[in-house]
Amino acid sequence: MTVLGIESSCDETSVAVIKNGELTSNLISSQLFHNKFGGVVPELSSRAHIQKIVPLLKQSIEESSISKEEIDCICATAGPGLIGALLVGFTFGKGLAVSLNKPFIPVNHIEGHLFSGFLSKEKPEYPFLSLVVSGGHTILFYVKSPVELIKLGSTVDDAAGEAFDKVSKMLGFGYPGGPKIQKHAELGDANKILFPVADLKKPFHFSFSGLKTAVLRYIQSKGSDVTEISEDEKNDIAASFQYAVIKALIIETGKAAKEFPVKSLVLAGGVAANSVLRNSFIELGNKLNIKTVIPAFQFCGDNAAMIAYRGYTLFNEGLSFPIDYKPYAGFKSEYLSF
Ligand code: KG4
Ligand code: ZN
pLDDT digits (tens, 9 = 90+) for 8-57: 999 999 999 999 999 999 999 999 999 889 889 999 999 999 999 999 99
Q: What is the pTM of this model?
A: 0.95
Angle at 104 between CA 101 and CA 106, to 5 degrees: 170
Ligand 1 neighbourhood includes 195 CB (under 6 angstroms): no
Report pLDDT for 335: 84
Contact 103, 96 (CB under 8 A): no
Contact 109, 269 (CB under 8 A): no
Report pLDDT for 338: 57
Hey, which residues does 106 pair with through a beta bridge?
76
Task: Pick the residue whose CA is nearest to atom 8 on ligand 1.
Answer: 270
SS3 assignment for 126-146 = CCEEEEEECCCCEEEEEEEEC
Cα distance between residue 304 and residue 13, in whole Å: 8
Please tell me the distance between residue 40's alpha carbon and the centre of ligand 1 in angstroms: 13
Cα distance between residue 240 and residue 218, in whole Å: 12
22-30: strand order across its sheet: 22-30, 12-19, 2-7, 73-79, 104-108
Report pLDDT for 142: 97
Residues of the chain with pLDDT under 70: 338
CB neighbours of residue 313 within 10 Å: 18
Angle at 251 between CA 163 and CA 144, to 5 degrees: 100
Ligand 1 neighbourhood includes 182 CB (under 6 angstroms): yes
Q: How far apart are the first and last CA of the chain?
A: 33
